[in-house]
Amino acid sequence: MGSPDGAVVTSMETRLLRVPLRRPWGPDVPRVHVIVVEVTTSDGGLGTGFSWTPTIGARAVQALLDDECAAFVVGGPADPAAVWDGLWRHLHEAGGGGITTIAMAGIDLALWDLHGKRLGASLVDVLGRRRDFVEVYGSGVNLHYSLDDLVAQATRWVEAGHGAVKMKVGKPDLDEDIERVAAVREVIGPRRRLMIDANQRWDLPTARRAVAALSRFDLYWVEEPLLADATWAYAQLRAAVDVPIALGENAHTIHRFRDLLDAGACDVVQPNVVRVGGVTPFLRIASLARTYGVSVAPHLLPDLSGQLALCLPDDTLVEDVEDASFPALGCLAAPSPVAMSAGRLTADAAHVGLGLTFRPATDSE
């Protein structure tokens, strides 16, 4: 996968986009942040990637990219795998995952984009397209929604043709969670899959009670019921309940995923392609999960996660948070490489690389 003719990275530039959410994810999350990364090479190549974070650390990620990452990458090869492993070791003193891997994703994605452009092929076809479409589930960051607003959102998902939906739980009063889940199940009917996401709000005893009370609604999975780091507690919960456990959006390295899998902590892993550091580690994590017989369901970012899902060996679901795709947020200066309609995602084979062209930053950003 190395660069032809020994091409090396000659420069790397970043720009920060602060993007208002059309449907805020709560009073404290009115926007998300996209750090666009552009890498140029000695043979005139240009690759575009991105890092991403909803609330915390955007400036820190950009600073790490502009300083330590650029100093390491410029002058080196444009091979994603070779760059990723060396850069991870270089940054490890600052943390094996988190801000470091989020920053690394921008570079890794830019190099994969460059690789696809050199081959004249889309990321999907570079990796190996295994299916023509993948199912999309309607997802909502909606714990702060009133019951009426939640029901209206579930109705929109049904009208859009989604065969699976996910909602937030974790109200202080379990009876309110029961009421809200019951209302959504009534709207979507008995045949659509229903997932719930507690976003780490419960401790182990609370989770046992909540999952037992909510399981009557035929749940496809319960996501992050406990703190993401509580490996032992996840194993205990999984042994105590019948509902599949999904987690992984807050795991940042293959080592962390291996620990979760070794512990028997989950039935579904949900790597976020940016938080784990890009396409290179995402593929490694997906391969690891398959050896354990654990499903992979990419977390968020359907404009990229959907492309990866089309290449996974097993069927999966792609998450589409309502009005939070890149086109819906106005991040892009050209059409997205993926299309979502009637609960399905497809990827255009005509684009090359990642197929993501981001808009310029504004003065206010």
* pLDDT tens profile 14-39: 999 999 999 999 999 999 999 999 99
Shared domain check, 164 and 263: yes
Number of domains in the chain: 2
Q: 317 lies in a domain?
A: yes
Q: Which domain holds residue 86?
A: 4-119
| Residues catalogued as catalytic | 168, 299
Shared domain check, 248 and 137: yes
- Per-residue pLDDT tens digits for 303-343: 999 999 999 999 999 999 999 999 999 999 999 999 999 99
Q: Whole-angstrom Cα distance, residue 168 to residue 147?
A: 12
Q: 352 lies in a domain?
A: no
Domain boundary among 82, 100, 119: 119
Shared domain check, 13 and 90: yes
Q: Whole-angstrom Cα distance, residue 302 to residue 255?
A: 25
- The CATH number for 60's domain is 3.30.390.10
Question: What tokens does 349 get?
Answer: 């084979």
Q: 191 lies in a domain?
A: yes
Beta strands in the chain (DSSP E): 9-20, 31-41, 46-53, 134-139, 164-168, 193-197, 219-223, 245-247, 268-269, 295-296, 317-321, 338-341, 344-347
Shared domain check, 159 and 35: no
- The CATH number for 316's domain is 3.20.20.120
Please state the separation of Cα 73 from the chain's center in Å. Answer: 25
- Per-residue pLDDT tens digits for 34-91: 999 999 999 999 999 999 999 899 999 999 999 999 999 999 999 998 999 999 999 9
Q: Whole-angstrom Cα distance, residue 221 to residue 194?
A: 8
**Full strand arrangement of the beta sheet holding 31-41:** 9-20, 31-41, 46-53
Q: 354 lies in a domain?
A: no
* pLDDT (0 to 100) of residue 3: 56
Q: 284 lies in a domain?
A: yes
**For the chain, percent of residues with pLDDT exceeding 90:** 95
Domain boundary among 98, 119, 140: 119
Decide if pLDDT at 4 tops 60: no
Q: 137 lies in a domain?
A: yes
Query: In the block, which residue shows the tokens 């593929």?
Result: 283
- Per-residue pLDDT tens digits for 233-254: 999 999 999 999 999 999 999 9
Q: Whole-angstrom Cα distance, residue 108 to residue 279?
A: 7
Decide if pLDDT at 2 tops 60: no
